[in-house]
Structure 1
Amino acid sequence: MNDILKNLTVLFVEDEEKIRTSLAGVMEDVFKSVILAGNGDEGLKKFKKYNPDLVITDITMPIMDGLEMAKEIKQISKFTPIMVLSAFSEKERLLSAIDVGIDKYLIKPIDVEELFEATCKLAKNKIGVASEIDIGNGIKFNKTKRVLINSAGEEISLTKKELAFVAILAQRIDTLVLHEEIKQSVWTGEKVSDAAIRTFIKRIRDKIGANLIKNIPGLGYKISTKDE
Protein backbone atom coordinates (compact mmCIF):
# COMPACT_ATOMS: atom_id res chain seq x y z
CA MET A 1 0.00 0.00 0.00
CA ASN A 2 2.67 2.52 1.03
CA ASP A 3 4.51 2.10 -2.29
CA ILE A 4 1.49 3.54 -4.10
CA LEU A 5 0.57 6.31 -1.68
CA LYS A 6 4.09 7.53 -0.88
CA ASN A 7 4.34 9.10 -4.34
CA LEU A 8 1.06 11.00 -4.06
CA THR A 9 0.10 14.46 -2.84
CA VAL A 10 -3.27 14.59 -1.06
CA LEU A 11 -5.50 17.57 -0.28
CA PHE A 12 -7.37 16.97 2.99
CA VAL A 13 -10.31 19.32 3.63
CA GLU A 14 -11.93 19.21 7.09
CA ASP A 15 -13.38 22.04 9.17
CA GLU A 16 -12.99 20.36 12.58
CA GLU A 17 -9.46 21.23 13.64
CA LYS A 18 -9.06 18.25 15.98
CA ILE A 19 -9.97 15.75 13.25
CA ARG A 20 -7.94 17.62 10.64
CA THR A 21 -4.82 17.68 12.79
CA SER A 22 -5.19 14.09 13.97
CA LEU A 23 -5.69 12.55 10.53
CA ALA A 24 -3.09 14.81 8.93
CA GLY A 25 -0.48 13.52 11.37
CA VAL A 26 -1.18 9.96 10.25
CA MET A 27 -1.38 10.90 6.56
CA GLU A 28 2.03 12.55 6.63
CA ASP A 29 3.59 9.16 7.35
CA VAL A 30 1.87 7.62 4.32
CA PHE A 31 1.67 10.24 1.56
CA LYS A 32 4.43 12.18 -0.16
CA SER A 33 2.77 15.45 0.81
CA VAL A 34 -0.39 16.49 2.69
CA ILE A 35 -2.08 19.83 1.98
CA LEU A 36 -4.65 20.99 4.54
CA ALA A 37 -7.73 23.21 4.23
CA GLY A 38 -10.45 24.13 6.71
CA ASN A 39 -13.38 24.66 4.31
CA GLY A 40 -14.38 24.14 0.70
CA ASP A 41 -13.42 27.61 -0.46
CA GLU A 42 -9.91 27.26 0.96
CA GLY A 43 -9.74 23.71 -0.41
CA LEU A 44 -10.63 24.86 -3.94
CA LYS A 45 -7.99 27.59 -3.84
CA LYS A 46 -5.34 25.14 -2.65
CA PHE A 47 -6.37 22.62 -5.30
CA LYS A 48 -5.78 25.24 -8.00
CA LYS A 49 -2.45 26.21 -6.47
CA TYR A 50 -0.95 22.78 -5.71
CA ASN A 51 -2.67 20.36 -8.16
CA PRO A 52 -2.82 17.41 -5.73
CA ASP A 53 -3.17 13.82 -6.97
CA LEU A 54 -6.33 13.20 -4.93
CA VAL A 55 -8.75 14.96 -2.59
CA ILE A 56 -10.22 13.73 0.70
CA THR A 57 -12.95 15.97 2.09
CA ASP A 58 -15.70 16.36 4.65
CA ILE A 59 -19.15 17.47 3.40
CA THR A 60 -20.61 19.96 5.88
CA MET A 61 -18.25 22.94 6.18
CA PRO A 62 -18.59 26.73 6.37
CA ILE A 63 -18.34 29.07 3.36
CA MET A 64 -18.40 26.23 0.80
CA ASP A 65 -19.34 22.62 1.54
CA GLY A 66 -17.44 19.57 0.34
CA LEU A 67 -19.86 18.62 -2.42
CA GLU A 68 -19.85 22.10 -3.94
CA MET A 69 -16.05 22.12 -3.80
CA ALA A 70 -15.95 18.66 -5.39
CA LYS A 71 -18.20 19.85 -8.21
CA GLU A 72 -15.86 22.77 -8.91
CA ILE A 73 -12.79 20.51 -8.80
CA LYS A 74 -14.33 17.99 -11.20
CA GLN A 75 -15.00 20.81 -13.67
CA ILE A 76 -11.33 21.76 -13.49
CA SER A 77 -9.87 18.24 -13.45
CA LYS A 78 -12.39 15.46 -14.03
CA PHE A 79 -9.79 12.69 -13.52
CA THR A 80 -8.74 13.76 -10.00
CA PRO A 81 -10.18 11.19 -7.53
CA ILE A 82 -12.28 12.64 -4.68
CA MET A 83 -13.16 10.77 -1.50
CA VAL A 84 -15.82 12.09 0.88
CA LEU A 85 -15.75 11.50 4.63
CA SER A 86 -19.00 12.40 6.35
CA ALA A 87 -21.26 11.66 9.28
CA PHE A 88 -24.22 11.85 6.91
CA SER A 89 -25.64 8.53 5.76
CA GLU A 90 -28.96 9.76 4.30
CA LYS A 91 -29.81 8.53 0.86
CA GLU A 92 -30.13 12.10 -0.45
CA ARG A 93 -26.55 12.92 0.50
CA LEU A 94 -25.23 9.75 -1.10
CA LEU A 95 -27.10 10.51 -4.30
CA SER A 96 -25.78 14.08 -4.28
CA ALA A 97 -22.25 12.77 -3.93
CA ILE A 98 -22.76 10.41 -6.87
CA ASP A 99 -24.21 13.20 -9.01
CA VAL A 100 -21.19 15.39 -8.33
CA GLY A 101 -18.85 12.59 -9.36
CA ILE A 102 -17.46 11.54 -5.99
CA ASP A 103 -15.28 8.45 -6.43
CA LYS A 104 -15.59 7.05 -2.88
CA TYR A 105 -17.77 7.70 0.17
CA LEU A 106 -16.83 6.72 3.75
CA ILE A 107 -19.02 7.28 6.82
CA LYS A 108 -17.57 8.77 10.01
CA PRO A 109 -16.16 7.81 12.45
CA ILE A 110 -13.28 6.90 10.16
CA ASP A 111 -11.16 3.81 10.64
CA VAL A 112 -7.64 4.80 9.55
CA GLU A 113 -6.82 1.41 8.04
CA GLU A 114 -10.08 1.44 6.08
CA LEU A 115 -9.30 4.96 4.89
CA PHE A 116 -5.86 4.06 3.57
CA GLU A 117 -7.08 0.81 2.03
CA ALA A 118 -9.85 2.67 0.19
CA THR A 119 -7.40 5.39 -0.87
CA CYS A 120 -4.98 2.79 -2.16
CA LYS A 121 -7.68 1.15 -4.29
CA LEU A 122 -8.75 4.55 -5.56
CA ALA A 123 -5.16 5.37 -6.53
CA LYS A 124 -4.79 2.07 -8.38
CA ASN A 125 -8.08 2.31 -10.24
CA LYS A 126 -8.26 6.04 -10.96
CA ILE A 127 -4.81 7.60 -10.88
CA GLY A 128 -3.13 4.75 -12.70
CA VAL A 129 -5.69 4.81 -15.51
CA ALA A 130 -5.28 8.52 -16.07
CA SER A 131 -1.59 8.75 -15.21
CA GLU A 132 -0.69 9.84 -18.74
CA ILE A 133 -2.39 12.77 -20.43
CA ASP A 134 -2.03 13.21 -24.18
CA ILE A 135 -1.38 16.90 -24.81
CA GLY A 136 -0.77 16.64 -28.58
CA ASN A 137 2.18 16.28 -30.99
CA GLY A 138 2.65 12.75 -29.64
CA ILE A 139 3.63 14.22 -26.26
CA LYS A 140 2.22 12.89 -23.00
CA PHE A 141 2.35 14.25 -19.47
CA ASN A 142 2.85 11.56 -16.82
CA LYS A 143 1.00 12.75 -13.71
CA THR A 144 2.60 10.23 -11.37
CA LYS A 145 6.21 10.88 -12.40
CA ARG A 146 5.43 14.52 -13.34
CA VAL A 147 7.43 14.40 -16.58
CA LEU A 148 6.77 15.02 -20.27
CA ILE A 149 7.36 12.09 -22.65
CA ASN A 150 7.78 12.50 -26.42
CA SER A 151 6.49 10.15 -29.14
CA ALA A 152 9.70 8.10 -28.92
CA GLY A 153 9.10 7.46 -25.22
CA GLU A 154 11.91 9.78 -24.17
CA GLU A 155 11.67 12.33 -21.36
CA ILE A 156 11.68 15.96 -22.50
CA SER A 157 14.12 18.00 -20.46
CA LEU A 158 12.38 20.84 -18.63
CA THR A 159 13.42 23.04 -15.74
CA LYS A 160 11.47 22.82 -12.46
CA LYS A 161 9.50 25.97 -13.27
CA GLU A 162 8.86 24.89 -16.87
CA LEU A 163 7.51 21.56 -15.64
CA ALA A 164 5.30 23.28 -13.04
CA PHE A 165 3.81 25.44 -15.80
CA VAL A 166 3.19 22.52 -18.16
CA ALA A 167 1.76 20.41 -15.31
CA ILE A 168 -0.92 22.94 -14.37
CA LEU A 169 -2.04 23.24 -18.03
CA ALA A 170 -1.81 19.50 -18.77
CA GLN A 171 -4.02 18.61 -15.84
CA ARG A 172 -6.66 21.09 -17.05
CA ILE A 173 -6.85 20.30 -20.76
CA ASP A 174 -9.21 22.68 -22.62
CA THR A 175 -9.44 24.92 -19.54
CA LEU A 176 -8.08 28.45 -19.34
CA VAL A 177 -5.54 28.98 -16.56
CA LEU A 178 -5.37 32.64 -15.54
CA HIS A 179 -2.15 34.67 -15.41
CA GLU A 180 -2.41 35.23 -11.66
CA GLU A 181 -2.84 31.54 -10.92
CA ILE A 182 0.15 30.69 -13.13
CA LYS A 183 2.28 33.24 -11.30
CA GLN A 184 1.25 31.85 -7.90
CA SER A 185 1.89 28.23 -8.91
CA VAL A 186 5.17 28.68 -10.80
CA TRP A 187 6.73 31.75 -9.20
CA THR A 188 5.45 31.45 -5.63
CA GLY A 189 6.45 34.57 -3.71
CA GLU A 190 8.56 35.88 -6.60
CA LYS A 191 7.93 38.95 -8.72
CA VAL A 192 7.83 38.22 -12.44
CA SER A 193 6.97 40.52 -15.34
CA ASP A 194 4.66 39.69 -18.22
CA ALA A 195 7.62 40.02 -20.59
CA ALA A 196 9.60 37.46 -18.57
CA ILE A 197 6.62 35.07 -18.71
CA ARG A 198 6.41 35.43 -22.50
CA THR A 199 10.12 34.63 -22.82
CA PHE A 200 9.68 31.71 -20.44
CA ILE A 201 6.82 30.26 -22.49
CA LYS A 202 8.75 30.72 -25.75
CA ARG A 203 11.49 28.47 -24.33
CA ILE A 204 8.90 25.80 -23.52
CA ARG A 205 7.36 26.08 -27.00
CA ASP A 206 10.82 25.59 -28.52
CA LYS A 207 10.99 22.26 -26.68
CA ILE A 208 7.47 20.89 -27.22
CA GLY A 209 6.16 22.70 -30.28
CA ALA A 210 4.74 26.15 -30.85
CA ASN A 211 1.12 25.08 -31.32
CA LEU A 212 0.44 23.24 -28.05
CA ILE A 213 0.30 26.16 -25.62
CA LYS A 214 -2.36 28.67 -26.60
CA ASN A 215 -2.34 32.26 -25.38
CA ILE A 216 -5.66 33.87 -24.49
CA PRO A 217 -4.70 37.57 -24.68
CA GLY A 218 -5.06 39.42 -21.40
CA LEU A 219 -6.28 36.33 -19.55
CA GLY A 220 -3.90 33.38 -19.51
CA TYR A 221 -2.93 30.16 -21.26
CA LYS A 222 -4.28 26.67 -21.98
CA ILE A 223 -3.58 23.45 -23.80
CA SER A 224 -6.52 22.72 -26.07
CA THR A 225 -7.49 19.50 -27.84
CA LYS A 226 -10.26 21.26 -29.73
CA ASP A 227 -10.03 23.02 -33.07
CA GLU A 228 -10.41 26.71 -32.48
Structure 2
Amino acid sequence: MIDILFAEDEVKMGKIVRDVLISRGFNVRYCWDGQYAWDSFFLNKPDIIVTDIMMPRMDGFTLASKIREVDRAIPIIFLTARTAEEDVLKGFDMGGNDYLRKPFNIDELIARINALNRFRNDYNPTDCITIGKYELNPKNHQLKYGDDPIELSFRESELLKRLYERRNTVIARKEILFEFWNGNQNAGRSMDVFICRLRKHLKKDPKVQIFNVRNVGYKLVIRD
Protein backbone atom coordinates (compact mmCIF):
# COMPACT_ATOMS: atom_id res chain seq x y z
CA MET A 1 0.00 0.00 0.00
CA ILE A 2 1.36 3.41 -0.97
CA ASP A 3 1.65 6.04 1.78
CA ILE A 4 0.95 9.55 0.49
CA LEU A 5 1.67 12.87 2.18
CA PHE A 6 -0.89 15.24 0.65
CA ALA A 7 -0.62 19.02 1.20
CA GLU A 8 -3.44 21.31 0.01
CA ASP A 9 -4.73 24.48 1.65
CA GLU A 10 -8.17 24.38 0.00
CA VAL A 11 -9.62 22.20 2.74
CA LYS A 12 -12.86 21.22 1.01
CA MET A 13 -11.05 20.05 -2.12
CA GLY A 14 -8.26 18.51 -0.07
CA LYS A 15 -10.66 16.33 1.91
CA ILE A 16 -12.44 15.20 -1.26
CA VAL A 17 -9.14 14.17 -2.89
CA ARG A 18 -8.01 12.50 0.33
CA ASP A 19 -11.23 10.48 0.62
CA VAL A 20 -11.08 9.37 -3.02
CA LEU A 21 -7.46 8.27 -2.68
CA ILE A 22 -8.29 6.33 0.50
CA SER A 23 -11.21 4.67 -1.29
CA ARG A 24 -8.76 3.57 -4.00
CA GLY A 25 -6.52 1.83 -1.46
CA PHE A 26 -3.93 4.48 -0.58
CA ASN A 27 -2.87 5.57 2.88
CA VAL A 28 -3.14 9.37 2.99
CA ARG A 29 -1.96 11.96 5.51
CA TYR A 30 -3.66 15.22 4.67
CA CYS A 31 -1.99 18.52 5.64
CA TRP A 32 -3.62 21.90 5.05
CA ASP A 33 -0.44 23.99 4.93
CA GLY A 34 3.23 23.63 4.04
CA GLN A 35 4.61 23.88 7.56
CA TYR A 36 2.28 21.14 8.77
CA ALA A 37 3.40 18.98 5.84
CA TRP A 38 7.07 19.61 6.65
CA ASP A 39 6.55 18.63 10.30
CA SER A 40 4.50 15.58 9.27
CA PHE A 41 7.18 14.41 6.85
CA PHE A 42 9.42 13.36 9.74
CA LEU A 43 6.72 11.63 11.80
CA ASN A 44 6.29 8.76 9.35
CA LYS A 45 8.16 8.96 6.07
CA PRO A 46 5.74 8.62 3.13
CA ASP A 47 6.32 6.85 -0.20
CA ILE A 48 5.31 9.90 -2.24
CA ILE A 49 4.42 13.56 -1.73
CA VAL A 50 1.60 15.40 -3.50
CA THR A 51 1.64 19.11 -2.76
CA ASP A 52 -0.05 22.31 -3.79
CA ILE A 53 2.26 25.24 -4.55
CA MET A 54 0.43 28.22 -3.06
CA MET A 55 -0.06 27.47 0.66
CA PRO A 56 0.15 29.46 3.91
CA ARG A 57 3.14 29.33 6.27
CA MET A 58 5.26 27.46 3.71
CA ASP A 59 4.67 27.21 -0.04
CA GLY A 60 5.11 24.01 -2.02
CA PHE A 61 8.36 25.14 -3.63
CA THR A 62 9.96 25.75 -0.23
CA LEU A 63 8.56 22.48 1.12
CA ALA A 64 10.07 20.53 -1.78
CA SER A 65 13.41 22.31 -1.47
CA LYS A 66 13.64 21.49 2.26
CA ILE A 67 12.67 17.87 1.67
CA ARG A 68 15.33 17.56 -1.04
CA GLU A 69 17.96 18.64 1.50
CA VAL A 70 17.31 15.44 3.45
CA ASP A 71 15.84 13.09 0.82
CA ARG A 72 16.79 13.29 -2.86
CA ALA A 73 14.82 10.25 -3.97
CA ILE A 74 11.24 10.52 -2.69
CA PRO A 75 8.87 11.40 -5.57
CA ILE A 76 7.17 14.80 -5.41
CA ILE A 77 4.14 15.78 -7.49
CA PHE A 78 3.15 19.45 -7.64
CA LEU A 79 -0.47 20.55 -7.99
CA THR A 80 -0.72 24.05 -9.40
CA ALA A 81 -3.30 26.51 -10.65
CA ARG A 82 -0.48 28.43 -12.32
CA THR A 83 -0.16 28.14 -16.07
CA ALA A 84 3.14 29.97 -16.67
CA GLU A 85 5.84 27.61 -17.92
CA GLU A 86 8.37 29.37 -15.67
CA ASP A 87 6.45 28.20 -12.61
CA VAL A 88 6.39 24.62 -13.87
CA LEU A 89 10.13 24.68 -14.56
CA LYS A 90 10.76 26.21 -11.13
CA GLY A 91 8.93 23.23 -9.67
CA PHE A 92 11.39 20.89 -11.34
CA ASP A 93 14.26 23.08 -10.13
CA MET A 94 12.98 22.71 -6.56
CA GLY A 95 13.12 18.93 -6.90
CA GLY A 96 9.69 18.04 -8.27
CA ASN A 97 9.27 14.88 -10.32
CA ASP A 98 5.91 15.70 -11.89
CA TYR A 99 3.09 18.25 -11.89
CA LEU A 100 -0.62 18.50 -12.54
CA ARG A 101 -2.47 21.68 -13.38
CA LYS A 102 -5.72 22.40 -11.55
CA PRO A 103 -8.44 21.44 -12.06
CA PHE A 104 -7.18 17.89 -12.50
CA ASN A 105 -8.74 14.49 -13.04
CA ILE A 106 -8.33 12.27 -9.98
CA ASP A 107 -7.71 9.22 -12.18
CA GLU A 108 -4.81 11.04 -13.83
CA LEU A 109 -3.37 11.89 -10.41
CA ILE A 110 -3.62 8.23 -9.38
CA ALA A 111 -1.97 7.12 -12.62
CA ARG A 112 0.94 9.48 -12.02
CA ILE A 113 1.29 8.37 -8.39
CA ASN A 114 1.43 4.73 -9.48
CA ALA A 115 3.88 5.48 -12.30
CA LEU A 116 6.30 7.33 -10.02
CA ASN A 117 6.03 4.64 -7.38
CA ARG A 118 6.82 1.91 -9.93
CA PHE A 119 9.71 3.96 -11.25
CA ARG A 120 11.09 4.36 -7.74
CA ASN A 121 10.72 0.66 -6.90
CA ASP A 122 12.45 -0.33 -10.13
CA TYR A 123 15.24 2.16 -9.49
CA ASN A 124 18.44 0.30 -8.68
CA PRO A 125 21.43 2.63 -8.60
CA THR A 126 24.59 1.21 -10.11
CA ASP A 127 28.17 2.14 -9.35
CA CYS A 128 29.49 5.45 -10.62
CA ILE A 129 29.37 5.86 -14.39
CA THR A 130 32.26 7.37 -16.35
CA ILE A 131 31.05 9.74 -19.06
CA GLY A 132 34.13 11.13 -20.79
CA LYS A 133 35.95 13.15 -18.12
CA TYR A 134 32.86 13.17 -15.91
CA GLU A 135 31.70 10.74 -13.27
CA LEU A 136 27.99 10.31 -12.58
CA ASN A 137 26.87 8.88 -9.25
CA PRO A 138 23.24 7.74 -9.84
CA LYS A 139 22.71 7.12 -6.13
CA ASN A 140 23.25 10.66 -4.89
CA HIS A 141 22.55 12.33 -8.27
CA GLN A 142 25.94 14.01 -8.40
CA LEU A 143 28.03 14.67 -11.50
CA LYS A 144 31.73 15.30 -10.95
CA TYR A 145 34.37 16.83 -13.19
CA GLY A 146 37.62 16.20 -11.34
CA ASP A 147 36.99 17.49 -7.84
CA ASP A 148 34.21 19.80 -9.00
CA PRO A 149 30.78 18.40 -7.97
CA ILE A 150 27.56 19.31 -9.77
CA GLU A 151 24.32 18.55 -7.93
CA LEU A 152 21.70 17.21 -10.33
CA SER A 153 17.98 16.87 -9.78
CA PHE A 154 16.61 13.33 -9.69
CA ARG A 155 15.17 13.76 -13.18
CA GLU A 156 18.41 15.24 -14.60
CA SER A 157 20.41 12.36 -13.14
CA GLU A 158 18.06 9.67 -14.46
CA LEU A 159 17.82 11.30 -17.90
CA LEU A 160 21.61 11.50 -18.22
CA LYS A 161 21.91 7.89 -17.07
CA ARG A 162 19.41 6.80 -19.71
CA LEU A 163 21.20 8.77 -22.45
CA TYR A 164 24.47 7.13 -21.41
CA GLU A 165 22.95 3.64 -21.45
CA ARG A 166 21.75 4.27 -25.00
CA ARG A 167 24.80 6.30 -26.07
CA ASN A 168 25.50 6.66 -29.79
CA THR A 169 21.88 5.81 -30.58
CA VAL A 170 18.90 8.13 -30.94
CA ILE A 171 16.25 8.03 -28.21
CA ALA A 172 12.92 9.22 -29.57
CA ARG A 173 11.33 12.27 -27.96
CA LYS A 174 8.10 10.38 -27.35
CA GLU A 175 10.03 7.62 -25.57
CA ILE A 176 11.67 10.13 -23.22
CA LEU A 177 8.33 11.83 -22.58
CA PHE A 178 6.73 8.48 -21.82
CA GLU A 179 9.41 7.40 -19.34
CA PHE A 180 10.17 10.68 -17.58
CA TRP A 181 7.02 12.78 -18.07
CA ASN A 182 4.40 10.01 -17.99
CA GLY A 183 3.71 10.45 -21.69
CA ASN A 184 2.61 14.08 -21.32
CA GLN A 185 3.10 15.45 -24.84
CA ASN A 186 2.70 19.00 -23.50
CA ALA A 187 5.94 18.55 -21.54
CA GLY A 188 8.10 18.77 -24.69
CA ARG A 189 9.37 22.24 -23.82
CA SER A 190 10.26 21.11 -20.29
CA MET A 191 12.18 18.17 -21.73
CA ASP A 192 14.13 20.50 -24.03
CA VAL A 193 15.06 22.66 -21.04
CA PHE A 194 16.38 19.63 -19.16
CA ILE A 195 18.47 18.62 -22.16
CA CYS A 196 19.85 22.18 -22.32
CA ARG A 197 20.85 21.99 -18.67
CA LEU A 198 22.62 18.68 -19.18
CA ARG A 199 24.55 20.17 -22.10
CA LYS A 200 25.72 23.02 -19.86
CA HIS A 201 26.77 20.57 -17.16
CA LEU A 202 28.80 18.59 -19.72
CA LYS A 203 30.38 21.50 -21.59
CA LYS A 204 33.81 21.14 -19.93
CA ASP A 205 34.47 18.00 -21.96
CA PRO A 206 34.04 18.74 -25.70
CA LYS A 207 34.17 15.00 -26.46
CA VAL A 208 30.84 14.53 -24.69
CA GLN A 209 27.88 15.97 -26.57
CA ILE A 210 24.12 15.59 -26.68
CA PHE A 211 22.84 15.99 -30.22
CA ASN A 212 19.36 16.95 -31.25
CA VAL A 213 18.15 14.80 -34.15
CA ARG A 214 15.51 17.08 -35.62
CA ASN A 215 11.94 15.85 -35.21
CA VAL A 216 13.20 12.53 -33.88
CA GLY A 217 14.98 12.75 -30.52
CA TYR A 218 18.34 13.03 -28.78
CA LYS A 219 21.64 11.17 -28.89
CA LEU A 220 24.55 11.19 -26.44
CA VAL A 221 27.90 10.82 -28.20
CA ILE A 222 31.20 10.19 -26.39
CA ARG A 223 34.21 10.50 -28.69
CA ASP A 224 37.48 8.68 -28.00
- The TM-score range, normalised by the shorter chain, is 0.5 to 0.7
User: Is 1:67 matched with 2:61?
Assistant: yes
Task: Give 1:107's aligned residue.
Answer: 101
User: Is 1:42 matched with 2:33?
Assistant: no
Deviations 1:96-155 (A, max 9, x none): 111111000110001011111111111111243169xxxxxxxxxxxxxxxxxxxxxxxx
Task: Give 2:70's aligned residue.
Answer: 76
The residue type paired with residue 105 of structure 2 is D
User: In the superposition, relative to structure 1, how do residues 46 and 127 fare at CA in structure 2: closer, same or farther (>3 Å)?
Assistant: farther
The residue type paired with residue 13 of structure 1 is A
CA contact (8 A) 1:53 1:127 kept: no
Query: 1:54 aligned to 48, 54, 69, which one?
Result: 48
User: Using the alignment, how far apart are the partners of 1:70 and 1:31 within structure 2?
Assistant: 25
Secondary structure class of the residue paired with 1:41: helix
Count of residue pairs brought into register by the alignment = 125
Query: 2:115 aligned to 103, 121, 139, which one?
Result: 121
TM-aligned CA deviation for residue 31 of structure 1: 3.8
The residue type paired with residue 55 of structure 1 is I
Deviations 1:1-20 (A, max 9, x none): xxxxxx11000000001111
User: Using the alignment, how far apart are the partners of 2:52 and 2:69 within structure 1?
Assistant: 19
Task: Give 1:29's aligned residue.
Answer: 23
1 or 2 for the larger relative contact order (CA 8 Å, sep ≥6)?
Answer: 1
User: In the superposition, relative to structure 1, how do residues 112 and 32 fare at CA in structure 2: closer, same or farther (>3 Å)?
Assistant: closer
User: Using the alignment, how far apart are the partners of 2:97 and 2:107 within structure 1?
Assistant: 18
Q: Structure 2-normalised TM-score?
A: 0.54
1:192-207 aligned within 5 A: none
User: Using the alignment, how far apart are the partners of 1:32 and 1:16 within structure 2?
Assistant: 20
Secondary structure class of the residue paired with 2:82: coil
Secondary structure class of the residue paired with 2:23: coil
The residue type paired with residue 77 of structure 2 is M
> Structure 1 stretches (4+) deviating beyond 6 angstroms?
none
The residue type paired with residue 45 of structure 1 is D
User: In the superposition, relative to structure 1, how do residues 113 and 32 fare at CA in structure 2: closer, same or farther (>3 Å)?
Assistant: closer
User: In the superposition, relative to structure 1, how do residues 79 and 130 fare at CA in structure 2: closer, same or farther (>3 Å)?
Assistant: farther
- The sequence identity of aligned pairs, in percent, is 30
Q: Structure 1-normalised TM-score?
A: 0.53
Deviations 1:177-200 (A, max 9, x none): xxxxxxxxxxxxxxxxxxxxxxxx
TM-aligned CA deviation for residue 48 of structure 1: 0.9
Deviations 1:187-218 (A, max 9, x none): xxxxxxxxxxxxxxxxxxxxxxxxxxxxxxxx
Give unmatched runs, 5+ long, in structure 1: 1-6, 132-228
User: Using the alignment, how far apart are the partners of 2:109 and 2:26 within structure 1?
Assistant: 16
User: Is 1:86 matched with 2:80?
Assistant: yes
Task: Give 2:7's aligned residue.
Answer: 13
User: Using the alignment, how far apart are the partners of 2:12 and 2:45 within structure 1?
Assistant: 25
User: Using the alignment, how far apart are the partners of 1:71 and 1:30 within structure 2?
Assistant: 29
